[in-house]
Structure 1
């Protein structure tokens, strides 16, 4: 129950950040809210959970029959054992949510600075929300021409 509630909460925090990014006026207060109440809060949750999990302070909620994970095992098998726990899924997912929202924030600021309309940004931001690196890759490809033009004297 605890892990499901936390999973739902982190998703809600990220969703609110993305809604603000897509629909709210791009003002300093909006950016601050997304950065600190969105990305910062997700990073704080991730950090606390990771410390509690590594310190074995919380029950990781392992799937029945799954071998216990070893925090020092960074092999595929070791990471698989971590993700065979509810805690591992929530910690990993929170990591994705925080980084994808941060990347979305950067994309929106960069796009604004390069003169891309909000309408042109929307599909890239939605793709970043749904599949982070795909949206980022697309943005890097799209922004290249304007970035080069801006760098010329």
Structure 2
């Protein structure tokens, strides 16, 4: 079951990525991406994987040590759990990047590579997009979105 859930995690996230990358200006893409619910499928898989592993994972995250954590991550349940965690988080970050890109009217040919990098290496894509966002947000509208002022 663990291997099946591992495989399923990408399959439930991929359609959302495909919409944001390949049809970013389609009205339904924006409607779908505006919903926080797109993150639920990989997050639910994470929860299903976590339940039987909870008492193994809890000490690893509350008192992390590299040795025991590395040992656990080398197991099938550990790898599947981290994979689901990564895909849920990457989709959450990618969703925000997509929506900010649309809000700032960043060209899809700029956004597509950023979103692909987000799928593969989200911690690299986020600072890259923050630079793009700063360059494109000439009126500092980002502060308005965050503060409501």
Q: TM-score, normalised by structure 1?
A: 0.78
Query: What is the alpha-carbon distance in structure 1 between the residues aligned to residue 125 and residue 137 of structure 2?
Result: 17
> For residues 42-87 of structure 1, what are the alpha-carbon distances to aligned partners after superposition, in whole Å with 9 as ceiling and x for unaligned?
11111222122125xxxxxxxxxxxxx6741411112112112100
Structure 1 stretches lacking a partner, 5+ long: 56-68
Structure 1's consecutive aligned runs of 4 or more residues displaced over 6 angstroms after TM superposition are none
Query: What is the alpha-carbon distance in structure 2 between the residues aligned to residue 145 and residue 8 of structure 1?
Result: 38
Larger radius of gyration: 1
**Cα distance change of structure 1 residues 77 and 26 upon mapping to structure 2, 3 Å threshold:** farther
Judging by fraction of residues, say which structure has more helix: 2
**Cα distance change of structure 1 residues 83 and 149 upon mapping to structure 2, 3 Å threshold:** same
Q: May I ask how many residue pairs the two structures share in their alignment?
A: 137
Structure 2 stretches lacking a partner, 5+ long: 144-149
Q: CA RMSD in A?
A: 2.3
Matches within 5 A, 1:4-153: 4-24=3-23, 25-27=26-28, 28-31=30-33, 35-36=36-37, 38-55=38-55, 71-73=58-60, 74-147=64-137, 149-151=139-141
Q: TM-score, normalised by structure 2?
A: 0.80
Greater relative CO, 1 or 2 (CA 8 Å, sep 6+) = 2
Secondary structure of the equivalent of 1:149? coil
